[in-house]
A = this chain, B = another copy of it.
Amino acid sequence: MGATMKDIARETGLGLATISSYLNGGNVREKNRIKIEEAIEKLHFEVNEVARGLKTNRTKTIGIILPELNNIFFSEIITAAEDLLRSHGYATMICDCRSDVKREEEAAEFLLHRRVDGLIMMPTGAEKKVFDRFRKSGRPVVLIDRRMENGDCDCVLVDNEGAAQNAVKRLMKKGHKKIGMITGPDNVYTARERQRGYELAIQESSKARSAQQSDLKGKTDRTDTKLLADGNYTIAGGAKAMRKLYEDNPDMTAVFISNYEMTVGAMMEINDLGIKVPEELSVIGFDNMDFARAVVPRLTIVTQPTEEIGQAAANLLLSHLEDKDETSDKTSDKIETTETIWLKTGFVEGESVADIS
């Protein structure tokens, strides 16, 4: 098959070390450099990264485990991460676990055998032990989007709570008081955070009101559970939740939907019910600009900085990888502190929120 270093050593009459040195950016005498380059050209030599990996115990490959590749939110993140990683010479092995915990574990096992140098993971339900074997063998792990329970692990997160709180506050500023929310499943980290943001906004406003109206003081206006409906982060769930909210709350003037799939579902249902947006109902959705722009009226949405998330994860990983290359083996098992990067969400105004103040 392909020519090896030995071949080009023979061709040039030089030793293996010289060739290796050349290939790795070392100093080589000018005329030898030319000879080597000619031989490489002539023999179509290309380094065998597999052999190099065996020797250096570094595959220059990053594993990525995610719940669903076929999902705009994740694929945007991966695109950014893969791009950055590859520009640093790293390949990525992507494993889609279809939101299945068992498959997720298998994927981790698979990547472990492949000896990837590091792991980026958007956990489905993985327990700590799943990725702890990576870290025990000195390979860095970066979590995205969802935090582990006992999470002493690097991660890149978005301020879900703040984003939801902000969205709801904006509705309030436009005079909305009865605001519904379509929530995600309880067992998903981001879903809980977003719900908490909503609740904080509601509580804050009721506190402000009770401060003004002294007669109401002390009376705590808790979240009205009728205004919450679980949409399970799916299209069908979002549609069903929308209907429920609408039927249970005739006086609701606005709804906040906390992920993209549910936003699609809710819009379908809104259309089926013949509700006019924003005249009869104001809507704030989540993620995916394209969809928001294709709907009538254009949707006001919370956006997540997918590109930055992917880049942040890749950079975090790369910094660990490069650290390790520099420090000697003796210090490599020093206790590393974990880092959490928080990124801000965005907000894009459409025409789906009415001012009723």
Which residues of A are at the interface with B, using a C-beta cutoff of 8 A? 1-2, 46-51, 53-54, 57, 59, 61, 68-72, 75-76, 78-79, 82-83, 86, 91-96, 98, 110-115, 137-138, 235, 264-265, 267-268, 271, 290-291, 293-296
Shortest distance from the beta carbon of A52 to any chain B beta carbon, whole Å: 9
- Bound CA span A293–B111, Å: 38
By the criterion CB–CB under 8 Å, are B91 and A69 in contact? Answer: no
By the criterion CB–CB under 8 Å, are A112 and B268 in contact? Answer: no
By the criterion CB–CB under 8 Å, are B92 and A94 in contact? Answer: yes
When C-beta atoms are compared, the residue in chain B nearest to A80 turns out to be B70
By the criterion CB–CB under 8 Å, are A93 and B95 in contact? Answer: no
When C-beta atoms are compared, the residue in chain B nearest to A57 turns out to be B1
Shortest distance from the beta carbon of A287 to any chain B beta carbon, whole Å: 13
Shortest distance from the beta carbon of A37 to any chain B beta carbon, whole Å: 17
**Residues in B whose Cβ lies below 8 Å from that of A268:** 293-294
- Bound CA span A69–B94, Å: 12
Closest 10 CB pairs of A and B: A271-B296, A264-B294, A70-B79, A70-B75, A69-B79, A91-B93, A50-B53, A50-B54, A268-B294, A49-B113
**Residues in B whose Cβ lies below 8 Å from that of A95:** 82, 86
By the criterion CB–CB under 8 Å, are A82 and B96 in contact? Answer: yes
- Bound CA span A93–B1, Å: 22
By the criterion CB–CB under 8 Å, are B70 and A76 in contact? Answer: yes
- Bound CA span A181–B93, Å: 40
**Residues in B whose Cβ lies below 8 Å from that of A59:** 50
Say yes or no: A94-B94 contact (C-beta < 8 A), given A57-B1, A72-B70: yes
- Bound CA span A70–B49, Å: 28
**Residues in B whose Cβ lies below 8 Å from that of A267:** 294
What are 19 sample pairs from A and B whose C-beta atoms fall under 8 A apart?
A: A1-B57, A1-B137, A46-B113, A47-B113, A48-B113, A50-B59, A50-B114, A50-B115, A61-B93, A69-B82, A70-B72, A91-B110, A91-B114, A92-B94, A94-B94, A235-B294, A264-B294, A268-B294, A294-B295
- Bound CA span A267–B50, Å: 49
**Residues in B whose Cβ lies below 8 Å from that of A53:** 50
